[in-house]
Structures are given as structure tokens and as C-alpha cells.
Amino acid sequence: MKGSRFYFLAILIIAGCTPPQEKEQSTGRTLNTQVKFARKFAVEENAIIVKEPWPGAVAPISYAPDTPPQRVVVTSTTHLAYLEMLGVEDRIVGFPSTQYITSPVIRKLVNDGKITDLGPDGSMNLELLISLAPDAVFAFDMGSESTTLDKIEESGIPVFYNADFLETSSLGRAEWIKFFGAFFDKEKEADSIFTSIVQRYDSLKTLAADAQNQPTIVSGVMYGDTWFLPGGQNWAAEFYRDAGGRYLWENDSTSGWLEISFESVFEKAGEADFWIGTSTFNTKKELAGQDTRYTHFKAFKVDEVYNYNKRLGPTGGYDFFESAYTRPDRVLADLIFILHPELLPDYDTYYFQKLP
Amino acid sequence: MITQFLEASQNKWTKVLIGLAVVLVLCFLINVALGSVTIPFESLIGFITSGSSGQASWDMILSNFRLPKAITAMLVGSALGVSGLQMQTLFRNPLAGPYILGISSGAGLGVAIAIFLGFYLGGFLELSGIGRSWLLVASAGAGSFLVLLIISLAATRLKDSITLLIIGLMFGAAAGALVSILQFFSQAENIQAYVIWSFGSLGSLSWSELYVFIPVILIGLLGSVLLSKPLNTLLLGENYAISLGLNIKKIRLLIIINTAILAGTVTAFCGPIAFFGVALPHLTRMLFNTSNHLLLTPLIILFGSGLMLIFDFIAQLPGMEATLPINAVTALFGAPFVIYILLRKKNLNYAYQS
């Protein structure tokens, strides 16, 4: 999700937003989905319950899916990935900021005029949205989106809150495919896709557990004079651990991002073996051009700097932020290949690449 | 009698300035000695005397991080203080500061354009071999230079200094509007980068940038010392200054250029550092009880350097891994201090009486 890296700012503007709580009591379809990893939603016999629809929400929202929606608007690039995996991407009629979409299948739908651009993220063009007459809007609310979403609900279009970004485990986040599966009457498909992802993830994790050594990892870059890196409970940190690495901030208790002074990072990670995740920097030269002090890191000197920029869209959108959340197995395989290439001899990375 | 009085006063001020310089050296040493990473005192002494603290990572932290940051803090503190003083005197307005002419807005617009069109500029940069940090410096510099140009043009035409203030204000509003439009259509990562730039930072300059930053600021500070005498005359009022034979248009232009060099360079390299430039001249005038620019300028250079070192020290939260943005610290700790002194002194009028 594009917005997740912007989380720390979004949190600043969380006002006491209380959109109307939906308690639909219609006689919906009978659902049969088991949720194993996700903590923020559950599926009952005829209800999908989002336990924490937005950060800090106190009450769950329950939805009773009826007939599967045929015309939908989604608001996050991660939603696109789930729908594409379920094979219902052709039901998307509108999306904010389509220029950042990287998936070729969905880009084609945009270019063919099947998907309408609804304007910038967070302040969608409501008139345009309503004129598309969608029968469902799948949205996320990180705190500032609720005013727009309330208006959509007032106009009679149901809004379904997706809180996948609040999941703390990578498999839990990927399991949200079942959330969409339940709405689109694709429960079996969702279940089998997710099961195969879990199986691959587990076998990769077992493989990495046998690794001889655990190389140390540093992540992130400086903005101004402050280094932003994932907290020890962040989505990224879990991957580093499962891939047989030792993230130097793994004992930290933050699930968001840490803001740390350069000297602390250098003291702790100057000798780190790998540097993974360099934001918008795509070459070592760019890194050194931004701040020559980056060149003092061992990972920089021995050429072990990686970024998730192997797949970029035509206007610079990162496929990583679009589809990586739905495919944790791919992310894990990439990281294992980077940290322990001998374990995956014939592999080629999907999202990550070494900075030239 | 009079010479005796002057001598006594000269002695007094020499003592004050020397005292301030000693305090400044202490602030500098404390700033370099303490930070997120704890470096033992002996190692620090070793680094100062022999150039090595005994551990390679500490050497690197001291020489490439703390030292550049401390130098930057001193120059930023004195540059912003002096340019704030010049603007307050020029406009005879206690609310004026280094950014009153729209310099930071121009810089902000330049940076916003660079960041939000960054994806398209990336390829160009790789070809030309310019680093991204220089891109930000250049675009902020270009933005403030453009504002300076327009303000100077206006200054040569206008009789009235206050009109310049309003023009500066209008620039700020227009530039701010353009920045919001750019932000509105941008990706979250870029908005984040811009917002963090606008928080200001002292530690982002490496030596290669300091080689440009130090001489430019020193030239600006020298210029402000030379401008102290005409500034004293301006305190009497523009009409009175003219009758004393001051070429008001020329002086006004020189002051504006001097301020733009100081504030523009600081903003280009460190981002807009708010509050400091407005508050420091008041603090200095009130603490040292003078409105003579021949004294105020050196006082502000020394006092501003020291105070910024202290603020930076607070922002680093010694012993902790996290840091605070310098902008937050200057306002948070500076504002109560100013209020306290204002309440004690009860009024501000003294500042505009010679």
C-alpha cells in the first residue's frame, strides 16, 4: 500500500472520526471461510467482521455479503492485487491515482478506459465516483479518509473497510485475500491460493532455518539528518528473521517506523553485512550523492545494498508496494536468495535487486 | 569625561564578548561530546589531541557527523539571528524575521518542484553526476534567489519599506499555494520527503557541502558587520536617516541582499528553520540591554551560535536513539524564554530607540 510508509504522518491527523457503524441484518449467503493468521477480521456463518476497521477503532464492523458485487471501486493498490489473484479485476470500475498502478493486466484495463481515474488518493472526486454507480467501494481509512468515505455511504453506496495494513504478520496480511473471496463468492479460490502461499512460505522458512550463519541487516535511509527504519515488529523485520538474517533492530518493540539519528545507526550497523531497502534510491551513486557518509557502511563497500525496485511501473510506482503484501512467499524467497544464495541456486529475485 | 566613559564601556563590552566566546567554545565541546552514541571522555580527548579515539566508528561519527553538525549549527544560529536583526531594523517591526521577504517560501517552492518532479529528474541527475543533495540545495537556492531578485527590483522602485513586507507576504502565500497543489498530486513518499525537509535539519550537511556553506555564510556575516553602522542610522527613522545623508535605497538593497544570502543559504542547506531568526534579536537586545548594531551584530553572532548548539544538543536527546526535528526544539524551548523575558521587561519599545 502506498500509504503505509506515510503512516507516521497519517497518525498525526487522526481525529475522533466516527463513521456510522453498519449492522446489516440481511439474510446473506452462507459463508465458509476459516481465518488462521489474520487478527483484524473474521468470517462467521453469514457475516464478515472487520475487528479494527481503522487504527484505534473501538468497535468492529460486521458485513453480511449478499450477491457478489459486479462494479467495484477500490482505493489501495494492494486491493488491486487481491482482486487480480481472484480473477475479478475486470469488475473494478474506478481507482484513485491510476498512474501509479504497475500490474500490466490492470494497466491495460485503465488504458482501455474500463477503469476510471478518480483523482488523488485521499481526496477522490466524489461526483465521478457516484456517476460510475459502483455497487461496492472497498476502502481503507488510516485516519484522514473518513470524511470522503462517509459521503460515499450517505449517497447509498456501501463502503467496506479493509484494514489489511493493520495486520502485524505477513501471512496475516496476505490472508485478507479471503476477505475479498467472501465478498466475491470466491471463497474456495481464495482458500486454495492462500494455502499454497502458506505452504511455500513455510517450506522456504524451514530451508532458511538451516542456514549456516545469520548475516546482519540494516534497512532504510536518512531524510534530513534522521534515519527512518522499520521497527522490530514491523512487517519487514519478520521477513528478515524468517529469511535467516539478523535484523539489527529486531529486539525493538515498534511495529511502525523508527526515527533514529545517523550516529546511532552507524554505531550499530556500520559493520552490517547487508543493507536492504533504500527507499527511492536506485543506484549506489545516487546514495553517495545524497550523503557521502553512506559510503562508510560496510554493506556499501562490499556491494551488498539492495532495494525493492526491480519492478517499477511506467511512472515510477513500485510493484513491491502493490503486490508484495499479497505474496509474502515471493518476498521471503527474494530475501533468502540475497542472504543465502546457496540455498536457492537457480532462483532469480522478483522484487529486489542489488543497487548497481 | 566622555572619553573616560567610552573607555569604561569599551572595556565592559570587550569582557562580555570574550565571556560569550568562552561560553561558545564550551557549548561547542559539549555538543560534540554528547550524542545518541556514548563516547567515553578519554576517547574524546584522544580524538582531539591525536586525531583518533581508538575506535574507527567513533572517529567516523566525530569527524563526519558531530563536527560538521556543530559547525553547521553555529553558522545557522548566527546567520539567522543576524538576518532577523537586519529585517527588524529595516522594517522597524518586531515581528519581522529572516523569512519575512518570502525567502523560505521561494526555497520551499524550489525544493517542492525538485522533489515532486524527482522521478523525471532522476535520469538527468545520473547522467550529469550531480548528487541528489546538491539538487535540493540548488533548487532551494534558485527559489530564494528568484524571490530576492523580485524583491530587490521592487526595493529600487519603492520609497516605502513597509510595502516590501506586503510583497514578501504575497510571495509566501502564492508559493505556499503552488506547493500545496504539487503535494496534492504527489505520492506519499514524496510528500514525506518534503515534509521532512520542511522540519529543518542541521546534521544533513557533509564536508563537501560545508566547503561551500562555510565561506558563503562567513561572507554574509562579514557583510552584516559592515552594515551595522547604517543600520544604527536607520533606527532613527528613514526620513531622519536621509537627512543625515544616507542613501536609503542603496542601503535597503544591500541589507536585503545580505539577508537573502544568509537566510537563503541556510534554507537551501538546512531547510526552513523557523522562529530562531525572529526571537534571537529580541533575546539579545533584552539580555544585553543595547540597541547599538555595532554591538548587537557580534553579540548575536556569538550568542546565536551558542544557543543553536544548545538547541541541537536538546534535539539529539543524548543517550537515546531517537531525535527531534530542530524546528520543534527551537520554538518549544525558545518561545517560553522569550515570553519570560518580555514579561520581565514589560515592553518592547526600547528596541527601536537608539
pLDDT digits (tens, 9 = 90+) for A14-69: 444 444 444 444 556 788 888 999 999 999 888 999 998 888 888 899 998 888 99
Cell numbers for B125, please give them: 541527475
Per-residue pLDDT band at A193 (split at 50, 70, 90)? very high
Which is more confidently placed, B304 or B147? B304
Q: Does the pLDDT value for residue A73 go beyond 50?
A: yes
Average pLDDT over residues A255-263: 85
CA distance A288 to chain B (A): 7
Find the residue in A nearest to B181 (Cα). Answer: A120
End-to-end CA distance of chain A: 26
Average pLDDT over residues B182-191: 78
Q: Does the pLDDT value for residue B122 go beyond 70?
A: no
- Which residues of chain A have a CB within 8 Å of the CB of B122? 282, 286
Give me the pLDDT at residue A27, please.
Answer: 55
Give the dihedral of Cα atoms B206, B210, B213, B216; nearest 10 deg. Answer: -170
A263/B199 CB distance under 8 A: no
Q: Does the pLDDT value for residue A4 go beyond 70?
A: no
Average pLDDT over residues B121-130: 55
Cell numbers for B236, please give them: 532613527
Cα–Cα dist A193/A242, whole Å: 21
Which is more confidently placed, B183 or A73? A73
Give me the pLDDT at residue B237, please.
Answer: 79
Look over chain A and give the mean of its residue pLDDT values, rounded to a whole number: 86
Give me the pLDDT at residue A219, please.
Answer: 93
Average pLDDT over residues B118-145: 68
B187/A100 CB distance under 8 A: yes
A285/B126 CB distance under 8 A: yes
DSSP string, B179-216: HHHHHHTS-HHHHHHHHHHHH--STT--HHHHHHHHHH
The 8-class DSSP code of residue A68 comes to: P
Give me the pLDDT at residue A16, please.
Answer: 44
Q: Does the pLDDT value for residue A169 go beyond 50?
A: yes
Q: Quick one: B257 exposed, middle or buried, by C-beta within 10 A (0-12, 13-18, 19+)?
A: middle
Highest mean pLDDT among A178-182, B44-48, B110-114, B326-330: A178-182
Q: What is the torsional sign of CA B124, B125, B127, B128? A: positive
Give me the pLDDT at residue A19, please.
Answer: 46
Q: Report the number of distinct structural domains present in chain B.
A: 1
Cα–Cα dist B354/B351, whole Å: 8
End-to-end CA distance of chain B: 21
| CB-CB neighbours of A23 under 10 Å | 11
Per-residue pLDDT band at B95 (split at 50, 70, 90)? confident
Give the dihedral of Cα atoms A278, A280, A283, A289; nearest 10 deg. Answer: -100
Reported as half-sphere exposure (CB side, CA atoms, 13 A), residue B278 has a value of: 18
Give me the pLDDT at residue A305, please.
Answer: 93
Which is more confidently placed, B340 or B307? B307
Give me the pLDDT at residue B342, please.
Answer: 75
Per-residue pLDDT band at A272 (split at 50, 70, 90)? very high
Which is more confidently placed, B242 or A49? A49
Give me the pLDDT at residue A22, please.
Answer: 46
Q: Does the pLDDT value for residue A144 go beyond 70?
A: no
Q: Quick one: A326 exposed, middle or buried, by C-beta within 10 A (0-12, 13-18, 19+)?
A: buried
Give me the pLDDT at residue B79, please.
Answer: 95
Q: Does the pLDDT value for residue A225 go beyond 90?
A: no
Task: Give the nearest partner residue to A5 out of B60, B118, B189, using CB atoms.
Answer: B189
Query: Which domains, ranges and CATH numbers included, belong to chain A?
Result: 2-197 (3.40.50.1980), 210-354 (3.40.50.1980)
A291/B202 CB distance under 8 A: no
Q: What per-residue string of b and e applies to B188-200 under the rule 16 or more CB within 10 Å gives b?
A: bbbbbbbebbbbb
Cα–Cα dist A250/A218, whole Å: 10
Which is more confidently placed, B352 or B155? B155
Residue in this structure with the C-alpha cell 527504519, named with its chain if needed: A229
Find the residue in A nearest to B32 (Cα). Answer: A263
A280/B133 CB distance under 8 A: no
Q: Does the pLDDT value for residue A110 go beyond 60?
A: yes
Cα–Cα dist B198/B213, whole Å: 19
- Which residues of chain A have a CB within 8 Å of the CB of B185? 120
Q: Report the CATH number at residue B245.
A: 1.10.3470.10
Least confident of A255-264, B8-17, B34-43: B34-43
Do residues A262 and A193 touch, judged by C-beta distance below 8 A?
A: no
| CB-CB neighbours of B174 under 10 Å | 13
> Hey, which residues does A257 pair with through a beta bridge?
A230
Which is more confidently placed, A69 or B116? A69
Q: Which residues of A touch B (CB under 8 A)?
A: 2-3, 5-6, 9, 97, 100, 120-121, 123, 222-226, 258-264, 266-267, 270-271, 279-283, 285-286, 288-293, 296, 315-317
Q: What is the percentage of chain A residues whose pLDDT exceeds 70?
A: 91
Which is more confidently placed, B248 or A131? A131
Q: What is the pTM of this model?
A: 0.79
Find the residue in A nearest to B135 (Cα). Answer: A290
Do residues A21 and A59 touch, judged by C-beta distance below 8 A?
A: yes
Q: Does the pLDDT value for residue B245 go beyond 70?
A: yes
Q: Does the pLDDT value for residue B248 go beyond 70?
A: yes
Least confident of A36-45, A71-80, B26-35, B185-194: B185-194
Q: Does the pLDDT value for residue A202 go beyond 60?
A: yes
Cα–Cα dist A100/A78, whole Å: 12
CA distance B28 to chain A (A): 18
| CB-CB neighbours of A279 under 10 Å | 20
Per-residue pLDDT band at B4 (split at 50, 70, 90)? low
Q: Does the pLDDT value for residue A328 go beyond 70?
A: yes
Q: Which domain holds residue B301?
A: 2-352
B119/A315 CB distance under 8 A: yes
Q: What is the percentage of chain B residues whose pLDDT exceeds 90?
A: 19
Beta pairing class for A257-261 and A305-307: unpaired
A290/B132 CB distance under 8 A: yes
Chains A and B form CB pairs within 8 A to the count of 123
- To probe the interface with A, which of B31, B36, B273, B316 has the most A CB atoms within 10 Å? B36
CA distance B120 to chain A (A): 9
Name the strand (E) or helix (H) holding B246. none
User: Does residue B149 sit in helix, strand or coil?
Assistant: helix
Give me the pLDDT at residue B354, please.
Answer: 40
Q: Does the pLDDT value for residue A5 go beyond 60?
A: no
B339 contact partners, CB below 8 Å, separation of at least 6: none
Q: What is the percentage of chain A residues whose pLDDT exceeds 90?
A: 44
B196/A262 CB distance under 8 A: no
Q: A85: closest CA among A223, A209, A184?
A: A184
Give me the pLDDT at residue B93, please.
Answer: 80
Cα–Cα dist A27/A50, whole Å: 18
Cα–Cα dist B89/B234, whole Å: 7
Q: Does the pLDDT value for residue B131 go beyond 90?
A: no
Which is more confidently placed, B195 or B129? B195
Cα–Cα dist A272/A266, whole Å: 9
Give me the pLDDT at residue A23, please.
Answer: 45
Edge-to-edge strands of the sheet including A41-43?
A: A41-43, A48-50, A61-63
